[in-house]
Amino acid sequence: MKTISKIHQSSMWIICLLTLSVFSGCETLDYRAVQAQFEVAAQADNNLSPSVFTEGSVFTDPGYQPVLDQLTDEFIAGLDSDLRANAWLLRGISEWRSMELTDALESANRGLESNPQEGSRDHVLLELLPALLFDSEIAIEVRNLNNGLSLDAYAQVKTKYESAFAKVEDAMDAFGPGTPASTQFYVHYHRWRMLQNWQQIIVDLDANGQQRAAQMREAASIFESATLDDEAEKAMLAIPPSQPLRQLIDAKKSS
Amino acid sequence: MIASESVIFAIQAGIKLGNKINRVLIDSSRERPLVLPLGDLFANVQEIDAFNYFHLDNPELVDPGGPYHGFSDAELVKAYRTILSIREEVGDIEGIGKTAEEIVMNLHRFEQVKAEFGSKPAVQRILGVVVEIGIDYFVANPDRLEGDSDGKKILAAFIKELDEIEFSEATPKTLISDVMLASLRTLNKNATLIDDDKRTTALIAGITQSLIGDYEELTSPSARDQRGELIRRIATSVIKGGAGAFNENIELFLRDDPQAKALVSSTLSQVISGLESKADLFSNESVELIYKSALTAVGEHPDLFTSNELLQDLIGNTVKALSVGNPRTVFGSETLSAIVQSGIQAVAENVDVLIDPEDPQNELLANIVRSVAHGLSNTLAGGGTVRDLLSKKQRADMMRIVFNEVAKSPEHLLAGIDDDARRSTLAQVIGSVARALGEDPGKLVTGEGFLELLKITLNTAVFNADKLLKLDSQSVGTNIVFKVLQQISTAVLEHSDPRQLVSRSVFLMIVEKALPVVSSNLDGILEGGDQQIKAVISKVLDLANDTLDNRVNGANLPDLAEAFLKRVLRGELNLNEDGATLNAATEILNAA
């Protein structure tokens, strides 16, 4: 009797221990569910047309709202400190893709304030996120115009892009020995993408060819390249040809 | 009872364990790979590439005057794709992008050149045709368009000339093609000529101007159609002929001669006009040779031939003469081109002698042809079949011999030709020879033999025409030369000649030796009667077949006949005196 009782007691203790441990990781498990939901949204986002000027534009909601509904301030505050940067990143990206640009900027800042591991994916992408926001902000402004920007109006756009690429520079400065290669490629991809968008704005300027060509050269003055296209080429070449992001770029160039 | 320490331990253990598991969970969550959004690419990458290509990298393509000046952005994208296609076609090697741009710029320049002929759509079309033909030709012969090749020089000369011609919209593509390709194919083999740009240009330009320019001046559809067919056939031949004239006469058409092109052109125009009525009878080779001869003649005597239509008339009148009456019967259409060609060649080689600048006789060759034809006609030649003896080639050769002999002694052989061709020296000599051979001339001569006999007789008659011929009568029977030949022929035919010494070649040798002797001893003929010559030949044959059969053979028989003839005609020998005859023969044979 005493033996059975001892075994029973041991089992009870084990069950209690396990229960305790389970209850202490619930927030993390919930967060994993949010991450999964984010991935679904991102996948759907990438499957939509990338062009704002065609139907099925990403300006329609790709499905990040459930993620945003979950990642409240309180929820993030309740996460382990090591997860908060990641959470702010997912929230910031979700807000970006939902065109809640101001909120996304705040999320990026709060994410950086939560001390992500230096050189980690989350750190690098939190540095990058403001640049992506500026690019989207410009796109919204330009989309609302019937014709190309005037040279005067373009001046402000140029300033914004300069700020955006300063942020990109910050993201690249955050690269460290521990930065995954895939993260670096992701940064270079957005570099290339944003440079294409910037060039398109210049091509569409309400000005003659020589004036637009001059703007192309002028825009490149913040880089160590003669033209924006040269800089875009550098960004593309920073991604190995075998990488999917590079293959995507190659496909865009040849389509 | 549960010990408090155990509970606390369990709690601590649970916390540690939970923390551990949670840490693992947290770390794995933090580091969990994520799908990340790609963001929005608003740009049209090809449009950007096209913009950068044109406005930054190659502004000359879109600047004023450039091939893409004024193109919209959308049009530039299409143009960019075209250039990429060109690059792909030309090959993806370093620096090849420049080649694609060069191609585009040169095509644009070409379009601008075409556009300069905006009011002349025909010329624009012709330029397009030239490019089209050129591409076909040089794709097959790529080495001929490289560097400073002959092909490029020829093409440049051809294209340059096109600028001078007033094309109509009806100018057929094949016309341009034939002349252009004939130039490219033929002149490629003339390295010496091609190295001299100006002479090449003069030749090609002159020929092109004549062939295409004259075509354009024709107004009736049938005339154009006919001329087009002719050009198609003879383009290569005239270019060959022209190149031949240039190559063989370096001093002609000197490189700085401004007249060169005009001479080449007018000569060809005259040649074509002259032979056009019977163009189908002229082989390509004869056209080549006629043009070559004509160009040589004109090159040496430009003033003589370009101030009138002498060349055209010479050819045209000869063609006409050969196409009707006796000449047509005698020569047939098959020999027409060869006769015209040899006539023009003779003129070319003997212009100073045959053409009087004060009174250029444009019927000259025609009259010669008629004279010869009369000479062989029944009227003069009798019922003999000399004509049948001669092959077509031999008839053409006969005219060549006649033209050359006339060129040597035109005053003599052409005497009387203007008044009545039948009474001309030429007609009378030929008629005399033909009639003298009798009803079956084949027994005495072959076709070649007849030509040789003709030559021998002409050579002799020319030195003593007024004595040997009676030009106040059409009948050849009164001519001494006829009598001589007839008597020799009769003697040979009537003698049995058992040893068969008098072959056809021996007959010719006898005539060759006899005629000059007679010509220089006419008193003997006139005083001694008509049959002296026959008697001499018969006597010689008697001796050769009898008493002197061991001394006389076919080789020395003509010499014996010649010597006998001399002595008899001079009255130094009486054929009726057998002893004296034998002694004379022996003496002659011993002295040989």
Q: Residues A197-222: pLDDT tens digits? A: 999 999 999 999 999 999 999 999 99
Which position has the higher pLDDT, A70 or B224? A70
Residue B538 in contact with residue B495, Cβ under 8 Å?
yes
| Angle between helices B260-275 and B284-300 in degrees, nearest 10 | 140
**Which of A37-41, A137-141, B248-252, B572-576 has the least mean pLDDT?**
B248-252
Angle subtended at Cα B360 by Cα B354 and Cα B364, rounded to the nearest 5 degrees? 55
Q: Is B219 on the interface with A (CB under 8 A)?
A: no
Angle subtended at Cα A159 by Cα A154 and Cα A162, rounded to the nearest 5 degrees? 125
Q: How far apart are CA A63 and CA A40, in angstroms?
A: 8
Q: Is B30 on the interface with A (CB under 8 A)?
A: yes
Report CA dihedral (B66, B70, B73, B74) to the nearest 10 degrees: -100
Confidence category of residue A93, pLDDT binned at 50, 70, 90: very high
* Residue from the list B15, B38, B48 with its beta carbon closest to the beta carbon of A20: B15
Q: Who contacts B220 (Cβ-Cβ below 8 Å, separation ≥6)?
A: none
* Residue from the list B25, B34, B52 with its beta carbon closest to the beta carbon of A227: B52
User: A178: nearest CA in chain B?
Assistant: B31
Chain B: give the shortest CA distance to residue A51, in Å: 5
Cβ–Cβ gap A42/B37 under 8 Å: yes
Confidence category of residue A224, pLDDT binned at 50, 70, 90: confident
Angle subtended at Cα B555 by Cα B550 and Cα B557, rounded to the nearest 5 degrees? 70
Q: What is the reported pLDDT for A2? A: 47
Q: How far apart are CA B371 and CA A238, in angstroms?
A: 97
pLDDT at B511 exceeding the cut of 90: yes
Q: Return the sign of the alpha-carbon dihedral for residues B87, B91, B94, B96.
A: negative
Greatest mean pLDDT among A50-54, B198-202, B291-295, B407-411 lies in B291-295
Q: What is the reported pLDDT for B194? A: 67
Greatest mean pLDDT among A134-143, A160-169, B14-23, B578-587 lies in A160-169
**A 175-204: CB under 8 A from B:** 182, 186, 189-190, 193, 196-197, 199-200, 203
Share of chain B above pLDDT 70, in %: 90
User: A211: nearest CA in chain B?
Assistant: B55
Side-chain-facing half-sphere of B552: CA atoms under 13 Å: 27
What values do phi and psi take at B3, rounded to 5?
-75, 140
pLDDT at B240 exceeding the cut of 50: yes
Q: Is B51 on the interface with A (CB under 8 A)?
A: yes
Q: What is the reported pLDDT for A52? A: 37
Q: What is the reported pLDDT for A57? A: 43
Confidence category of residue B137, pLDDT binned at 50, 70, 90: confident
Q: Is B68 on the interface with A (CB under 8 A)?
A: no
Q: What is the reported pLDDT for A200? A: 93
Terminal Cα-to-Cα distance of chain B (whole angstroms): 174
**What pTM was estimated for this model as a whole?**
0.63
Q: Is B11 on the interface with A (CB under 8 A)?
A: yes
The pLDDT of B28-32, averaged and rounded, is 84
**Which of A28-37, B91-100, B492-501 has the least mean pLDDT?**
B91-100
Q: Is B221 on the interface with A (CB under 8 A)?
A: no
**Which of A71-80, B90-99, B346-355 has the least mean pLDDT?**
B90-99
Residue A41 in contact with residue A94, Cβ under 8 Å?
yes
Q: pLDDT tens, B427-451?
A: 888 888 888 888 888 888 888 899 9
Map residue A120 onto helix, strand or coil.
coil
The pLDDT of B349-366, averaged and rounded, is 80
- From chain B, the residues in CB contact with A43 under 8 A are 35
Averaged pLDDT of chain A: 86
Q: What is the reported pLDDT for A56? A: 40
Greatest mean pLDDT among A230-234, B37-41, B146-150 lies in A230-234
Residue B480 in contact with residue B488, Cβ under 8 Å?
no
**Which of A115-119, A192-196, B119-123, B533-537 has the least mean pLDDT?**
B119-123
Q: pLDDT tens, B93-125?
A: 555 456 777 777 777 777 777 676 666 667 677
User: B44: nearest CA in chain A?
Assistant: A200
Secondary structure (DSSP) of B504-536: HHHHHHHHHHHHHHHHT-HHHHHHH-TTHHHHH
DSSP code for A146: S
Confidence category of residue B304, pLDDT binned at 50, 70, 90: confident
Q: Is A21 on the interface with B (CB under 8 A)?
A: yes
Query: CB B543: neighbour CB atoms within 10 A?
Result: 23
- From chain B, the residues in CB contact with A39 under 8 A are 34-35
Report CA dihedral (B359, B360, B364, B366) to the nearest 10 degrees: -120
Q: What is the reported pLDDT for A94? A: 96
The pLDDT of B187-212, averaged and rounded, is 77
Confidence category of residue A55, pLDDT binned at 50, 70, 90: very low
pLDDT at B256 exceeding the cut of 70: no
- From chain B, the residues in CB contact with A164 under 8 A are none
Q: How far apart are CA B331 and CA B394, in angstroms?
A: 10
Q: Who contacts A18 (Cβ-Cβ below 8 Å, separation ≥6)?
A: B14, B17
Q: What is the reported pLDDT for B238? A: 87
The tokens describing B502, both together, are 């008098």
pLDDT at B262 exceeding the cut of 80: yes
Q: What is the reported pLDDT for B368? A: 87
Averaged pLDDT of chain B: 82
Pinpoint the alpha helices (H) of chain A: 2-24, 26-47, 65-70, 73-77, 81-97, 101-113, 121-143, 151-173, 181-203, 209-219, 228-237, 244-254
Q: Is A222 on the interface with B (CB under 8 A)?
A: no
